Amino acid sequence: MNRVAIAIDLGGTDIKGALLDREGRLHSPRRVPTGEDRSPAKVVDRLADLIDGLQKTAGGAAFGVGIGVPGGVYPDSKKISQAPNFPGWYDVDLVSPLMQKTGLPVAIDNDANVAGLGEFEFGAGKAVDSMVLITLGTGIGGGIILDGRIWRGQWGMAGEIGHITIEPEGVLCGCGNRGCIEAYASGPALVRQAKEALAREPGAPLLQLAGGDPDRITPKLIYDAAKQGCPVSRAVFEKASRYLGNMMASVLNLLNVPLFVIGGGVSASFDLLYEPMRDEIRRRAYRIPGENVAIQRAILGNDAGMIGAGMLAFAELTPAEGR
Ligand SMILES: [Zn+2]
């Protein structure tokens, strides 16, 4: 086997791992449950087992490990500053114990950052030098790539696009702030707004599609209803897309990137999101970037995290092989 990196995506539910070659292909993917006991020592044990298994599969050919984690990572110490799905994780060092256990060098970064790197190298961002990935799912995340490199910021928390304020006195967000875009355009936010609208318009087709039970409403169901012409569902997507476009216009004025890539589960509704988003960017951003910026759907899907993590290993552990 050619030179490969071990690529790991540490998630709140599963740990996914695979081998990644320099052409962006994943080999021998596998996944194990993250587990109930989330003490750093236990998670290190599970990661080390997964890494050892993949190194055996590679016949010892893997040169190093790249890991994406669902939390902030300090750019200098590489410690995890905090991770919402891992209670009590503050200033956690995964790198040193993993290097000791596996004998391999380890590169680590935030999961949205590495997903951005994956899309940049092998996905929707292949043709540009800079881009911003926006992931729309249970939350809203972001990965900023500037001149071919992840922009991490001083404390490793750059790209927290979901917590840009769009309504100063708006809905309370999980982060403690009011009016974050995440509280208006994430999957759960779409469902909340659809339920609010149905309370006013109980005759809408969306409720029939949900079998009369508002608790069965999902972002996918709202999408299906909108495609069938349900006015409530169309309005939910229209409003969320305009909020997104509003936020993106500000990001565009700040960074002037040529490309936004939209990923995450809600990006399955890209065709409904696109026009209002585009329109809002045109209205609010400076004319030249506003007219010329491209907006594309992510193409690596759930593999973006692993592909980006492996690519991080290539970029940081074998610098000459980066793009
Ligand atoms: Zn927030």
Q: Is the dihedral of CA 20, 23, 24, 30 positive or negative?
A: negative
User: Measured in angstroms, how far is the CA atom of residue 11 from the centroid of ligand 1?
Assistant: 20
Parallel, antiparallel or unpaired: strands 90-92 and 80-82 = antiparallel
- Report domain extents, the chain: 4-118+302-321, 126-299
User: Measured in angstroms, how far is the CA atom of residue 116 from the centroid of ligand 1?
Assistant: 20
Q: Which residues pair with 27 in a beta bridge?
A: 19
The structure tokens listed for 254 are: 């700040």
CB atoms within 10 A of CB 194: 28
User: Measured in angstroms, how far is the CA atom of residue 321 from the centroid of ligand 1?
Assistant: 37
Given this model, what pLDDT does residue 84 score? 84
Q: Where are the beta strands (DSSP E) in the chain?
A: 4-10, 14-21, 26-33, 62-69, 72-73, 80-82, 90-92, 106-110, 131-136, 140-146, 149-150, 259-263, 294-297
Q: Give the burial class of 41: count Cβ atoms within 10 A of its Cβ; 0-12 exposed, 13-18 middle, 19 or more buried.
A: exposed
Q: What is the CATH number of domain 4-118+302-321?
A: 3.30.420.40
User: Measured in angstroms, how far is the CA atom of residue 188 from the centroid of ligand 1?
Assistant: 13
Tell me what the mean pLDDT of segment 119-140 comes to: 96
CATH topology of domain 126-299: Nucleotidyltransferase; domain 5 (3.30.420)
ipTM greater than cut 0.90:
yes
Residue 267 φ then ψ, to 5°: -70, -10
Tell me what the mean pLDDT of segment 30-42 comes to: 94
pLDDT tens profile 243-280: 999 999 999 999 999 999 999 999 999 999 999 999 99
User: Measured in angstroms, how far is the CA atom of residue 246 from the centroid of ligand 1?
Assistant: 16
User: Measured in angstroms, how far is the CA atom of residue 38 from the centroid of ligand 1?
Assistant: 25
User: Measured in angstroms, how far is the CA atom of residue 248 from the centroid of ligand 1?
Assistant: 16
| Distance between CA atoms of residues 65 and 130, nearest Å | 25
pLDDT tens profile 138-188: 999 999 999 999 999 999 999 999 999 999 999 999 889 999 999 999 999
User: Measured in angstroms, how far is the CA atom of residue 177 from the centroid of ligand 1?
Assistant: 5
Q: Is the dihedral of CA 259, 240, 223, 213 positive or negative?
A: positive
Do residues 19 and 6 make contact, with C-beta atoms less than 8 angstroms apart?
A: yes
The structure tokens listed for 71 are: 């939390």
User: Measured in angstroms, how far is the CA atom of residue 176 from the centroid of ligand 1?
Assistant: 6
Count helices and strands in the chain by DSSP H and E runs: 11, 13
User: Measured in angstroms, how far is the CA atom of residue 301 from the centroid of ligand 1?
Assistant: 24
User: Measured in angstroms, how far is the CA atom of residue 126 from the centroid of ligand 1?
Assistant: 30
Q: Is there a shared CATH topology between the 4-118+302-321 domain and the 126-299 domain?
A: yes
User: Measured in angstroms, how far is the CA atom of residue 31 from the centroid of ligand 1?
Assistant: 30
User: Measured in angstroms, how far is the CA atom of residue 89 from the centroid of ligand 1?
Assistant: 20
Tell me what the mean pLDDT of segment 56-61 comes to: 96
